[in-house]
A and B are shown apart, each in its own frame.
Chain A
Amino acid sequence: MQWLDTAPEGARLPVTTPLEEVEAAARDAGVLVLEFDAFRDGRGFSLAAVLRERGYRGRLIAEGRLIPDQARHLRRSGFDGVVLGPGADIEAWRRMDAAFSATYQPVEEDAAPIWRRRTLARATPEAVVKRLNRETRGGNAEDILCAALDPSLGLRPAILSSFGAEAGVLLSLAARVDPSIPVIFLDTGMHFLQTLAYRKALSERLGLTDVRLVTPDPSERADLDPDEDLWRADPDACCDLRKVRPLERALAGIDAVITGRKRHQTLDRHDLRPFELFQGRIRVNPLHDWSEEQVEAWFDAEDLPRHPLIDQGYRSIGCWPCTTVVKAGEDGRLGRWSGAAKTECGIHLGRRTMSVG
């Protein structure tokens, strides 16, 4: 909540204005000031709540005869700030705004309501996974994403993306739901330059605002892979250093990881469910049942940019040392760690135990 001395420039309307007119005014107003001429006139709270629910994203400011005891009513109905008259007791406003640590009602940009907090507090992650699988049965990728991002669930999710050949599907779906969702990219230092360029282009195109580049710890890297050839001798150790450990650090505070894993990719993934539990975190696989054809169709339909290496025959794209071209008709993931028994890089399997130094 912002405590303002004066109202910012913008549209101004008294709370006595009919809803339709307020909505019309809000349509192209970056700032909307609602004027209360009596603190007992609670229309403004409903106006704000309706505007927010119907998608108004501009600043909403309250001005007029209000009392500190209404601070949280204002904030929780969707106001960003309130204009305090001269001599206002700003301390009282602050105190009243923070008077309650928990609330029963779900509202805009606020903590989960008590009901959800209770359910979460009581539900084990296993139960949450089970319930989400049940609730999204028959749903499509977007349903699964929405279930995971449902604010009332109180989860803090992030997408894990390689910005590889198929990454555009998950990222474009997520961008529709919430472009500010954190996207974690494991910058192993071994990526193709094309991947890095593609990451930039695709993020911009989709309007993703929180792409996080996660790099290996420099001192660990100096210790374990001074010559940058660990992948040759022990790819598992290399993945551990460049992917598994950095990811673990990046996921601090994240409790749901959204991936683009699909059933058809490897034998191990043939029974992949939309939600699974993995090392205490919820893992979300919105594309679990997608076929290669669906992915292709999606790229076409959405007119998404392609990874530049696809033209050169790459189908599943990771670090350059571990990615090869696959022949037409072959399984795309055959191009990863080709010739080795390795099929997963470790971030989806968990940290293997290894002695350091």
Chain B
Amino acid sequence: MYRYDEFDTAVVRERIEEFRDQVSRRVSGGLTEDEFKPLRLMNGVYLQLHAYMLRVAVPYGTMNSGQMRRLARIARVYDKGYGHFTTRTNIQYNWPALSDVPAILSELAEVEMHAIQTSGNCIRNVTTDVFAGCADDEIEDPRPWCEILRQWSTIHPEFSFLPRKFKIAVIAAPKDRAAMRTHDVGLQLIRGEDGETAFRVFVGGGQGRIPHIAQEIAPAVPGRDLLAYLTAILRAWNLLGRRDNIHKARIKILVASLGIDAFREEVERHFATLRREDLRVPDEEVARIRAYFAPPPFADLPRTSGAFDRASLADPDFARFARNNVRRHRQPGYATLIISLKPQGGVPGDITADQMDLVADLAERFSFDEVRAAYEQNLVLPHVRLDDTPEIWRRLAEAGLATPNADLVTDIIACPGLDYCSLANARSIPVAQALSEQLADLDYQERLGPIRVNMSGCINACGHHHVGHIGVLGVDRKGEEYYQITVGGSADEQAALGEIVGRSLAADEVAPAVGRALDRYLEVRREGETFLQTVRRLGADPFRDAIYGAFNAVA
């Protein structure tokens, strides 16, 4: 895992001092609220419905136990004892006092963390595959490149007052586990013709009111030119992007309105005159950063584990957990273990301070001191011995963290919605909770297989409803909370936007309607076909009928 050197430390410390200065100028009237707002946002401080919210970056989702314990301490001391993990692998605190923020930032700096650029019209926290360094389809660990991007994008002189936010995701395998193509820029690490690292570059993805799947702009940008190419993209957008309408400001709108080919020409023009050498990270530096992400000292273990097999046979609950939450690791005898933050009836992504401490302990003891935050709002212990999984499971279960539903229908992605968010039209948490309760039967969930349900409380789509296999969007109908259902979206390597199936539903109608769609899937699916494959084969109609047929029959 990356460790700060004196320069990284200086930047983070100086950033806190800068923010203190800004806060004091705000208090003395030197800055108006309008002027202060983007500055606090770029330090992760939001004004929410009831209070300030602080969003802390977990760069590319990787943490050590010390950092996790510090997040727990912040939740305990400065908040109400819990935090909320987001789809961009950040953690949010919903109740900090504004006056505590500099102190929290200092606490974070002590463990090499920060809240820099977790909001605002700048380059945001870079996300990646939660199984980086574990998956066997990976070409190379993407995280050194994420760290390079983190550094390059931090307090960028040219790109801190962009038309709108800018999000980058990096994957390093053919399989996309980071919703890469829903990002402003998606990078797929590949081997170039010369055998060196290169990137397939996608641009113009995004959700919100006008969702787009990112399109390929370059098939193979050499690693050494990556920062120059990204600079060219950002420059083209910063100069041409719309600033008159907040809903039309994202790069996706520019790409769509120019067309990918014309946009590519713009980018190439900038790329041609950029001083590329200046943006080339020295080989020594790439090697230095890579060294931090070298595989941990794995033991030579047999491929199978007696302890694991015995526990699976002896305890059906463990067996279920193992089936759903324990994933293959490329190192024999090891596994990657998903800690679901979606307990039955819980708030997706929430975790208490005590739970965080436990996860930190487990990471330290069993996973080479490493824990990851996942796009799905879960946590992951990346490198555990198969032998240790029964004990880890027992300890997780004691803390209410062993919900065996990873990637199943109740592993719901949901934004905070109207319970916290000032932009929301509708609540998403209670609807997610209702669905989770209704579908609680784990046998049924396993029968359904992998299905992703995503919920957003408004069209900003923080809950990624467009790319949920089933999407639920909160809308406002004459002052009442209503929900629109989509089916067939996906965030993987065949990313697609879901199709709206019909008129929006009242809150209490959502869970039963989704239930009917799921039942219909079980009726019409072919042997071995997942929900998504069935939707792709049959289209949305059978599900539309299932959802609305009941109403129509009554009407």
Partner of B238 from the list A46, A67, A122, A150 (CB cut-off 8 Å) is A46
Q: Find out whether the CB atom of A53 lies under 8 angstroms from the CB atom of B7.
A: no
Partner of A42, one of B7, B35, B39, B162: B162
Q: Is the CB of B160 within 8 A of A105?
A: no
Residues in A with CB closer than 8 Å to B156 are: 104-105
Residues of B within 8 A of A117 (CB): 7
Could you give, for residues 35-69 of chain A, a 1 whenever the CB lies within 8 Å of some chain B CB and a 0 otherwise?
00001111101110110011000000000000111
Asked whether, in the complex, the Cβ of A67 is within 8 Å of the Cβ of B157, the reply is: no
Residue numbers in A under 8 Å from B17 (CB-CB) = 99
Residues of chain A lying within 8 A (CB to CB) of residue B194: none
In the complex, whether B281 has a CB less than 8 A from a CB of chain A is yes
**Residues of A contacting B159 with CB < 8 Å?**
42, 45
Residues of A within 8 A of B21 (CB): 92, 95-96, 99
The number of A-B residue pairs with CB atoms under 8 Å apart is: 123
User: What residues of A have a CB within 8 angstroms of the CB of B10 in the complex?
Assistant: 100-102
CB of B154 within 8 A of CB of A45, answer: no
Chain A residues with CB under 8 A of B509:
none
The reply to whether the CB of A76 lies closer than 8 angstroms to some CB of chain B is yes
Q: Which of B269-277, B434-442, B514-522 contacts A (4 or more CB under 8 A)?
A: B269-277
Q: Which of B21, B31, B239, B277 has the most CB of A within 10 A?
A: B239
Interface membership of B302, Cβ < 8 A: no
Give Cα A105–Cα B278 distance, bound, in whole angstroms. Answer: 9
Give complex CA distance A118, B11 in Å: 14
Contacts of B162 in A (CB 8 A): 42
The residues in B between 261 and 307 inclusive whose CB is less than 8 angstroms from any CB of A are 270, 273-275, 277-279, 281-282, 284-285, 288
Nearest CB to that of B286 among chain A residues?
A115
Decide yes or no: A42 and B238 within 8 Å by CB, A69-B39, A92-B30, A104-B154 being known contacts: yes
Assess whether B273 is in contact with A53, with CB atoms less than 8 Å apart. yes
Size of the B side of the interface (Cβ < 8 Å), in residues, is 46
How long is the Cα–Cα vector from A70 to B155 in the complex, in angstroms? 11
State whether the Cβ of B197 lies closer than 8 Å to any Cβ in chain A: no
Q: Is the CB of A119 within 8 A of B285?
A: yes
**Residues A19 and B239 in contact, CB atoms below 8 Å apart:** yes
Chain B nearest CB, measured from A154 CB (Å): 11
Least CB distance, B450 to chain A, in whole angstroms: 39
B523 within 8 A of A: no
Indicate whether A296 reaches chain B with its CB closer than 8 angstroms: no
The answer to whether the Cβ of A103 comes within 8 Å of any Cβ in the partner chain is yes
Beta-carbon contact of B278 and A118 below 8 Å: no
- Which residue in A50, A73, A119 is a CB contact (below 8 Å) of B235? A50
CA distance A12 to B31 in the complex (A): 27
Distance between Cα atoms of A76 and B155 in the complex (Å): 11
Residue in chain B with minimal CB distance to A76: B157
B238:A43 contact, CB within 8 angstroms: yes
Does A116 sit within 8 A of B, measured CB to CB? yes
Specify which chain B residues have a CB less than 8 angstroms from the CB of A224 in the assembled complex: none
In the complex, what distance in Å separates the CA atom of A102 from the CA atom of B14? 9
Contact in complex: B152, A53 (CB < 8 Å)? no
The closest CB in chain B to the CB of A118 belongs to B285
The interface residues of chain A lying within 8 Å CB-to-CB of B35 are 39, 67
User: For residues 128 through 144 of chain B, which have their beta carbon under 8 Å from a beta carbon of chain A?
Assistant: none
Query: Would you give the shortest CB distance from B335 to chain A, in whole angstroms?
Result: 36
**Closest residue of chain B to A38, judged by CB?**
B243
Task: Evaluate contact between A73 and B7: CB separation under 8 angstroms.
Answer: no
Residues of A within 8 A of B25 (CB): 68, 89, 92
Enumerate A98-126 residues with CB–CB distance to B below 8 Å.
99-107, 114-119, 122-123
Q: Could you list 22 A-B pairs, sorted by A, with CB under 8 Å?
A: A39-B35, A39-B161, A41-B161, A42-B121, A42-B238, A46-B238, A47-B239, A49-B158, A53-B273, A67-B35, A69-B18, A69-B39, A76-B157, A77-B158, A92-B30, A99-B14, A99-B17, A102-B7, A102-B10, A103-B11, A104-B152, A150-B277
